[in-house]
Amino acid sequence: MRTESTPNQIQKWLSELSLEQKVNLVVGMGQNVPGIADVEQEEKVPGAAGSTYPIPELGIPSLTLADGPAGLRIEPERDGTDKTFYCTAFPIATLLASSWDTELVERVGEAFGKEVKEYGVDILLSPAMNIHRNPLAGRNFEYYAEDPYLSGYMGAAMVKGVESQGVGTSIKHFVANNSETNRMHLDTHVSERALREIYLRGFEIVVKEAQPWTIMSAYNKINGTYASESEELLETILRDEWGYEGLVMTDWFAGEDPAGQMMAGNDLLMPGVPPQRQALLAAVKSGELDEAVLDRNVARILELILRSPVYQKYAYSDQPDLEGHAKLARAVAAEGIVLLKNETQTLPLASSNLKVATFGVGSYDFIAGGAGSGDVNNAYTVSLVEGLENAGITLNEDLKAKYLTFVGAEKAKLPEKRYFFDLLPPIPEMLINRAEIATQAQLNDLALITIGRNSGEFQDRQTEGDFYLTKTEQELITNVSDTFHKAGKKVVVLLNIGNVIETASWRDQADAIVLAWQGGQEAGNALTDVLTGKITPSGKLPTTFVRSYDDVPSAKTFPGEENPGGAIKQVGEMVMAREAEITFHDDIMVGYRHYNTKGIETAYPFGFGLSYTTFEYESLELSSNQIEQTLSVRVTIKNTGELSGKEVVQLYLSAPGLTIEKPAMELKGFAKTRLLQPGEKQTLTMDLNPKDLASFDTAQSAWVVEAGTYTIKIGASSTNIRLEKNFIAANMIVEKVNKVLVPKK
């Protein structure tokens, strides 16, 4: 908390700190990476990602920083104690965004913040805000959406929730970090307009709505300059234009020039290595780095320290309410499950007395969340079969035993993880012959098949056997569907995945498809709640499911190209990246902006999701037929079905697009009803302001509104528009900004 004495205390410290101490403060305490271990220290919170340098003689404590987006990542066990330190694995960010429910995400943030605080951590390295530009990006699961508006409001809700507990967040990775391959040495060429409208916009929303305590700059370069060395990004845009008041830290081992990072406004270098200290001392001594710049950055660190639990001597318990948070994780996971297909009311399951055959290794080995720094050390993960059994559903025991034996044997073959961030190879799908499937079809009422996918840091996904199903998976779906259908029985496919896979080629074979995402430690229970109808699904897609990878506008150039003979980036002994480049040719046409504008058919469009009930979009009213400041949009929704349920309502805007090229439509508002009983109605209000209409005009470096007729499209998805109304806008310059981050080619 900033108090009146904050500036005085900071000034006092600044006057007392030696140059060496200032340098120590801006360079983190290091990490135990082979070849670069820093200061020997006892870790306060084992497994935390990093800490800042303490100066005990001045009463300046060390801050503890820990990942990540789906739950706090710390070591669950410690030497010398039987006590455990597990954290709750909440659903992945993409699932949270599928709930389209900012209040719910804020509640998750509160629970998250409590774990951060009770385990003695000061800053949570989350939420992660990068845009789903391409379905193969390895960390999409950590990110919310392909749309900056949705991503921005989800991130803001998360920051508000976490920080309400008196701990900090770090929104990351700022900015244009949309792939993993060569991420530490990748030069991203991107237009000013795409940066402003797509890649920066979500961060801008979070900064303006929630003022996060910290921001993590990205690994990559943007138009030739490392994010962490870009004054245009970190001072001009972030601080001068957006009014950001907090601290910026690097991503771990990012960038090359410590003095440049300081001058750019990147206040803290994480995790910190001794050569960075030497370089900074030398730079101040030679005059290359003005000590006043260092003081500015140190002051930001000191301000952060003053608001931290460690400075306030918070007596953490190491005992957060894991039981309560598990309940919340289950409820939240169910809210973000998306029902993709449901023919002839296959779901909800008619009765809990059904006999069910569960196919697919994934049914038995459910994935709670992705790998790498976005992973969580949770005490358990409820699989699909455990969830079903917990609900009293009878599973075929022979089939279960066969799968469990297979999964056990395959797991035993997996290599040991060398580092926490290693992504182990997936367990292959088990071959199961038709005769066996036929027996199962006789013995059971229904087949469930789980398809699972995992991904993580350092690598992007592949098309073959990842985006597309493996041959064995295809055969499994075909054989189970043929055989069960011949016996008059239904087949439901469950997707336990972190991001988009191909569905168009096989979806006709399933009677129902449920996108469970990676739902955290209670995933199997949450999915069962939806399958049985205890909870009516209300999730909608925050990212498009394309028919084919080739339909993705960035498919041809993702994830960039290595420069022949280019430099290698090494951290200690590890080769991290080769010099590479990527050009965002898709510009502002990312995701549905591209598909809707070009009329490209998708498997499941952005915003899509079915329910067990039906909704009528009854009326749409605008507060005016022209916009000056705010335009209020009121939509009345009625549950016209037979079950209670919630509806996510999306507001898209189509612009005249006469002088400025515009996507066919863009998301500019959303709202979710409460649980509506059959026949019940609710009126939702969404507000538009001139910036929602504006495009970034590169020639003027300004957000401008083009005069003309705009159409508000209220949709149940981006392709299912239920109500429309026009309004008029005059020419407006909403905001003039600086000409920065200009592409070099």
Nearest to 228 by CA among 275, 192, 266: 266
Minimal distance in Å, beta carbon 79 to ligand BGC? 22
Alpha-carbon span 200 to 205, nearest angstrom: 9
Alpha-carbon span 330 to 219, nearest angstrom: 34
Two tokens at 97?
Answer: 């965004």
Burial class (CB in 10 A: 0-12, 13-18, 19+), 737: middle
Q: Which of 118, 122, 147, 251 binds ligand BGC (CB under 6 A)?
A: 251
Site for ligand BGC in 370-399 (CB under 6 A): 373
Q: Are 163 and 113 in contact (CB under 8 A)?
A: yes
Contacts for 56 with CB less than 8 Å, ≥ 6 apart: none
Minimal distance in Å, beta carbon 151 to ligand BGC? 16
Two tokens at 611?
Answer: 């329910």
* Identity of the amino acid at 442: Q
Q: How many CA atoms lie within 13 A of 143 on its CB side?
A: 36
Q: Is 710 strand, coil or helix?
A: strand
Q: Are 223 and 742 in contact (CB under 8 A)?
A: yes
How would DSSP label each residue in 306-359?
HHSTTTTT----S---HHHHHHHHHHHHHHT-EEEEEGGG--S-S-TT-EEEEE
Q: Which is nearer to ligand BGC, 57 or 573 (CB)?
A: 573
Alpha-carbon span 234 to 249, nearest angstrom: 10
Q: Which is nearer to ligand BGC, 68 or 690 (CB)?
A: 68
Q: Are 607 and 713 in contact (CB under 8 A)?
A: no
Q: Contact between 252 and ligand BGC (CB under 6 A)?
A: yes
Q: Is 575 strand, coil or helix?
A: strand
Q: Which is nearer to ligand BGC, 49 or 263 (CB)?
A: 49
Minimal distance in Å, beta carbon 172 to ligand BGC? 5
Q: Does an H or E element contain 691, and which? A: helix 690-693
Q: Are 26 and 298 in contact (CB under 8 A)?
A: yes
Q: Which is nearer to ligand BGC, 153 or 252 (CB)?
A: 252
Q: Which is nearer to ligand BGC, 250 or 528 (CB)?
A: 250
Minimal distance in Å, beta carbon 475 to ligand BGC? 37
Alpha-carbon span 677 to 699, nearest angstrom: 52
Site for ligand BGC in 24-53 (CB under 6 A): 49
Q: Which is nearer to ligand BGC, 66 or 337 (CB)?
A: 66
Residues 335-374, mask of contacts with ligand BGC (x by CB under 6 A): --------------------------------------x-
Minimal distance in Å, beta carbon 633 to ligand BGC? 36
Q: Contact between 116 and ligand BGC (CB under 6 A)?
A: no
Q: Which residue(s) pair with 568 in the sheet? A: 578
Contacts for 327 with CB less than 8 Å, ≥ 6 apart: none
Residues in the chain: 745
Q: Which is nearer to ligand BGC, 50 or 645 (CB)?
A: 50
Q: Which is nearer to ligand BGC, 413 or 418 (CB)?
A: 418
Minimal distance in Å, beta carbon 213 to ligand BGC? 15
Site for ligand BGC in 408-467 (CB under 6 A): 457
Nearest to 474 by CA among 506, 517, 514: 506
Q: Say how many Å lie between the first and final Cα of the chain, rounded.
A: 45
Nearest to 241 by CA among 742, 740, 692, 737: 737
Q: Contact between 144 and ligand BGC (CB under 6 A)?
A: no
Minimal distance in Å, beta carbon 31 to ligand BGC? 9
Minimal distance in Å, beta carbon 418 to ligand BGC? 15
Q: Report phi then psi at 221, rounded to 5.
A: -90, 155
Q: Which is nearer to ligand BGC, 174 or 608 (CB)?
A: 174
Q: Contact between 545 and ligand BGC (CB under 6 A)?
A: no
Q: Report phi then psi at 238, rounded to 5.
A: -65, -50
Alpha-carbon span 79 to 696, nearest angstrom: 55
Nearest to 646 by CA among 676, 609, 616, 610: 676
* Identity of the amino acid at 667: L
Q: Are 544 and 403 in contact (CB under 8 A)?
A: no
Minimal distance in Å, beta carbon 67 to ligand BGC? 5
Q: Contact between 67 and ligand BGC (CB under 6 A)?
A: yes
Site size toward ligand BGC (CB under 6 A) is: 9
Q: Which of 114, 160, 172, 300 binds ligand BGC (CB under 6 A)?
A: 172
Q: Is 609 strand, coil or helix?
A: coil
Contacts for 47 with CB less than 8 Å, ≥ 6 apart: 66, 73, 74, 75, 76, 85, 377, 420
Minimal distance in Å, beta carbon 131 to ligand BGC? 15
Q: Contact between 122 and ligand BGC (CB under 6 A)?
A: no
Q: Which is nearer to ligand BGC, 50 or 360 (CB)?
A: 50
Alpha-carbon span 239 to 241, nearest angstrom: 6
Minimal distance in Å, beta carbon 374 to ligand BGC? 7
Q: Contact between 125 and ligand BGC (CB under 6 A)?
A: yes
Minimal distance in Å, beta carbon 379 to ligand BGC? 21
Nearest to 361 by CA among 496, 233, 182, 249: 496
Buried b (16+ CB within 10 A) or exposed e, 441-468: beebbbbbbbbbbbbbbbbbbeeeebbb
Q: Which is nearer to ligand BGC, 370 or 553 (CB)?
A: 370
Active-site residue 251, yes or no?
yes
Q: Which is nearer to ligand BGC, 418 or 556 (CB)?
A: 418
Q: Which is nearer to ligand BGC, 320 or 372 (CB)?
A: 372
Residues 198-237, mask of contacts with ligand BGC (x by CB under 6 A): ----------------------------------------
Radius of gyration of the chain (CA): 26
Q: Are 718 and 607 in contact (CB under 8 A)?
A: yes
Minimal distance in Å, beta carbon 373 to ligand BGC? 4
Question: Catalytic residue among 38, 67, 147, 251, which?
Answer: 251
Nearest to 262 by CA among 235, 304, 229, 286: 229
Which residues carry out catalysis? Answer: 251
Residues near ligand BGC (CB under 6 A) are 49, 67-68, 125, 172, 251-252, 373, 457
